[in-house]
Amino acid sequence: MQTKFALTLADARRVAEAAEAEARKNGWSVVIAIVDDGGHLVFLQRLDGTQPASSEIATAKARTAALFKRPTKALEEVVASGRTAMLNLPGMTPVEGGAPILYRGEIVGAIGVSGVQSFQDGLVAAAGAAAVAENG
């Protein structure tokens, strides 16, 4: 048997707080979704004024980052390079804004952000994911 680290609700809140701080610093209204390593929603936060559709998009980005074990930007780049067959994979949302959450080198979950331009979503997601790595 192997011991496995797990993302707690307190961890998810810490990730969301760091992401929210980055979003507010830049004046961005976003949705922040945190999932566990299986892609199941643990925490969702929609800042005031964010479009409702961003709740689904942020969750999909987080799920993709968790299940494919890489930032969604990397998958977006693969599709942009012409590998459109990737779009047929189940659970694929190849749009920047999703990032795995690592603890001691293991993926324990992921964060997805939606509400502004994709590269801005990516900055917010990276700030959130770093909260566990820095404080883990």
Q: Which domain holds residue 18?
A: 9-135
Report the number of distinct structural domains present in the chain: 1
CB atoms within 10 A of CB 123: 20
Confirm whether 23 is domain-assigned: yes
Confirm whether 21 is domain-assigned: yes
User: H or E stretch including 41?
Assistant: strand 41-46
Confirm whether 71 is domain-assigned: yes
> Cα separation of 112 and 98, whole Å?
4
To the nearest whole number, what is the mean pLDDT of the chain?
95
pTM, whole model, 2 decimals?
A: 0.95
- pLDDT by residue (tens digit) across 26-75? 999 999 999 999 999 999 999 999 999 999 999 999 999 999 999 999 99
Confirm whether 29 is domain-assigned: yes
Query: What is the domain-level CATH number for residue 29?
Result: 3.30.450.150
pLDDT at 136 over 60: no
Confirm whether 1 is domain-assigned: no
Helix locations, the chain, DSSP H = 9-25, 53-68, 72-80, 118-135
The pLDDT of residue 23? 98
Which CA distances in Å does 98 have to 2, 4, 19?
27, 22, 12
